[in-house]
Amino acid sequence: MKSLLILGAGGFGRMVAETAQALGYEKVVFLDDAVKDEAVIGMCCDYEIRHKEYPVAVAAFGNNKMRLYWTDKLLEEGYEVPAIVHPSAVVSPSAVLEPGCFVMQRAVVNTNTRIGRAVLVNSGAIVDHNSVVCAGAHVGLGSVVKSDCTIESGCKVEAGEVIFSTRRKIEGVDSRSLEDAVYAFGFGQQCSYVKPFGEGHINETYAVYMPGADGKDTPLYVLQRININVFKNPDQVMTNIFGVTEYLRSMIREEGGDLDREALSYIKTKSGESYFEDADGQPWRCLHYVPDSVCYQMVERPEQFYQSALSFGHFLKQLGDYPAESLYETIPKFHDTVKRFHDFKDALRKDVKNRARLCREEIEFVLAREDDCGVLMRQLEEGILPLRVTHNDTKLNNILFDKNTGEGLCIIDLDTIMPGLAANDFGDSIRFGASTAEEDEKDLNKVHFDIELYRIYVKGYLEMAKDVLTPAENASLPWGARLMTLECGMRFLADFLQGDVYFKTTYPEHNLVRARTQFRLVKEMEEQFDQMQEIVETF
């Protein structure tokens, strides 16, 4: 016989008894300290001695504190303490009902809600989606708890009252702007915690951890604040990103690839916008976290550089038919080396920090290469080189690698997706990856252009992109390596002359040291330029 022991034989207890009978409990008895009748078989303290006879029990007290107290006592004793749901109530399959809660006549519990232990959701009440009603609370007759609300433990929502969305404290959220962004993308009620993520120096980035099916917190999303000092038109940045990533998904689907791992997937706000603007006018965007991936800051072994070449070559190939002219130029003339040369000369002319006297040799190095700066730009103007969809920041750390196989997964940091030259993307990879030392190495004896790493990159890049590139573009690749390295050195040197206003520095000569490493690489590329061209022709 299916039986139920109810602690509390008052008005609410009798309501629960009627509900229990409607649910198929054939025998319902009570424990109560005050009420005496044939259905009351003892006092509440007798719950221990009645356990074997009645293994299933609930605490049906109208008082929140009493209901929670006795529910916990029953659980401690080892009773089965079910959730009691009236047959006329509507409860979503995704809702979580904890032990000893009650959902009464015609109440509604919507999608992804959590009803805590010993909670009473009274007749006609509505708890809307993604809300949490904590232990021992009472949602009164005909009241409404709207979506994304939290009703704290022991609280009562009065009959007919409407509770609007509330915010809960999220660990790691230390500013109102970050909190607003978390809620703008709909993570506020479920988010476990937030923590800084990655090693980028431009945008402020966080991993958003959510509870997983196995009970462990898992990073599912990446939240970024876009640096508007660098990207002054975030709407254009995000229009480019959504256009390109959605196109990439269609290409990956055609190739039979993994849509969740081979391209970044961005998320719109709850209001359907491509980014959220906080109270300070700062833009925030969100994307899916790519699981089982890793990012490398430096080339640790040749295979990594080869994989990066495959990745960037494949990226160019996938976007070969994308209309480059439809993209915004989010940083105007970003890789216009002629403009960069003129910017350098302007910084030299002004010499606002009186630093030109400290770098005469480096200045002469740049001035002697004025004609070189126009090589690729002239070919673009003459229609010899076509515009491509280019990444414009093709360092190794802008690729996610599969942490298990070591293969390149997808390209990240898409802020600088713009129309550009294939040679520029190729060249920036070489500048960064085919150097034997870091960008700010003080000892120039350690800084060399590694022609074998160059060969490895050319091989991987052309394996993927050769069928897309024109003969003129193939021939332009060695020039891309020379000019991107020269351009970067010019920018470091100009910033040094201007007082370090753009690049982050840690000591006064930092930008000058960076410029010197780039110029050392340029000099060695010039010395080996014929061989660089021959390597491209080989593949």
Do 246 and 324 have their domain in common? Answer: no
Do 456 and 333 have their domain in common? Answer: yes
Residue 201 pLDDT: 57
User: What is the reported pTM?
Assistant: 0.72
- CATH code where residue 44 lies: 3.40.50.20
* % of residues, the chain, pLDDT over 70: 99
Band (pLDDT 50/70/90 cuts) for residue 167 is: confident
Q: Is 42 annotated among the ligand-binding residues?
A: no
Residue 168 pLDDT: 78
Do 516 and 375 have their domain in common? Answer: yes
Type and span of the H or E element at 362: helix 360-367
| Cα dist from 380 to 56, 344, 391, 484, 529, whole Å | 80, 22, 17, 15, 21
Task: Mean pLDDT check: name the lowest of 190-204, 219-233, 353-367.
Answer: 190-204
239: Cβ–Cβ under 8 A, 6 or more apart, which residues? Answer: 274, 328
**Most confident listed range (146-160, 228-242, 364-378):** 364-378
Give, to the nearest 10 degrees, the angle between helix 360-367 and helix 510-527. 40
* % of residues, the chain, pLDDT over 90: 87
Query: Is residue 284 domain-resident?
Result: no
Residue 411 pLDDT: 95
Give, to the nearest 10 degrees, the angle between helix 337-350 and helix 360-367. 140
Residue 195 pLDDT: 94
Q: How far is it, in rounded angstroms, from Cα 405 to Cα 441?
A: 31
Residue with structure tokens 């010499």? 351
| Cα dist from 398 to 158, 391, 490, whole Å | 54, 10, 23
Q: Is 62 annotated among the ligand-binding residues?
A: yes
End residue of a domain, out of 54, 82, 110:
82
Query: Is residue 277 domain-resident?
Result: no
Do 138 and 256 have their domain in common? Answer: no
Q: What is the pLDDT of residues 415-440, one digit of tens each?
A: 999 999 999 999 999 999 999 999 99
Residue 190 pLDDT: 83
Do 98 and 71 have their domain in common? Answer: no
Do 436 and 517 have their domain in common? Answer: yes
Query: Is residue 283 domain-resident?
Result: no
Do 193 and 323 have their domain in common? Answer: no
Query: Is residue 155 domain-resident?
Result: yes
- CATH code where residue 92 lies: 2.160.10.10
Task: Mean pLDDT check: name the lowest of 15-19, 106-110, 395-399.
Answer: 395-399
Band (pLDDT 50/70/90 cuts) for residue 198 is: confident
Mean pLDDT of the chain: 94
What 3-state DSSP class applies to 395?
A: coil
Q: Are strands 399-402 and 293-294 parallel, antiparallel or unpaired?
A: antiparallel
Do 296 and 348 have their domain in common? Answer: yes
Do 159 and 199 have their domain in common? Answer: no
- 13: pLDDT strictly greater than 70: yes
Residue with structure tokens 């359907």? 272
Task: Mean pLDDT check: name the lowest of 206-215, 283-292, 331-340, 392-401.
Answer: 206-215
Query: Is residue 31 domain-resident?
Result: yes
Q: What angle do CA 513, 199, 193 make, to 5 degrees?
A: 160
> Token pair of 497, please?
């002359």
Nearest to 330 by CA among 246, 427, 426, 414: 414
Query: Is residue 22 domain-resident?
Result: yes
- 189: pLDDT strictly greater than 80: no
Q: What is the pLDDT of residues 17-33, one digit of tens each?
A: 999 999 999 999 999 99
Query: Is residue 273 domain-resident?
Result: no
End residue of a domain, out of 122, 137, 166:
166
Give, to the nearest 10 degrees, the angle between helix 360-367 and helix 471-498. 150
Query: Is residue 492 domain-resident?
Result: yes
Q: How far is it, in rounded angstroms, from Cα 365 to Cα 492?
A: 13
Do 493 and 356 have their domain in common? Answer: yes
Q: How far is it, in rounded angstroms, from Cα 7 to Cα 29?
A: 9
Q: Is 217 annotated among the ligand-binding residues?
A: no
Q: What is the mean pLDDT of residues 133-137?
A: 97
CA 196 to chain centre: 11
Do 127 and 16 have their domain in common? Answer: no
Do 420 and 403 have their domain in common? Answer: yes
End residue of a domain, out of 166, 192, 213:
166
Q: Which domain holds residue 139?
A: 87-166
Residue 229 pLDDT: 83
Residue 130 pLDDT: 86
Q: Is 32 annotated among the ligand-binding residues?
A: yes
| DSSP per-residue codes, 296-333 | -SS--SHHHHHHHHHHHHHHHHHTTTS-GGGS--SSTT
Q: Are strands 266-267 and 108-109 parallel, antiparallel or unpaired?
A: unpaired
Q: What is the pLDDT of residues 296-339, one digit of tens each?
A: 888 888 999 999 999 999 999 999 999 999 999 998 899 999 99
164: left (phi > 0), else alpha (psi -120 to 50), else beta? beta
Q: How far is it, in rounded angstroms, from Cα 235 to Cα 330?
A: 10
Total domain count, the chain: 4
What 3-state DSSP class applies to 196?
A: strand
Amino acid identity of residue 430, one-letter, is I
Q: Which residues pair with 408 in a beta bridge?
A: 401
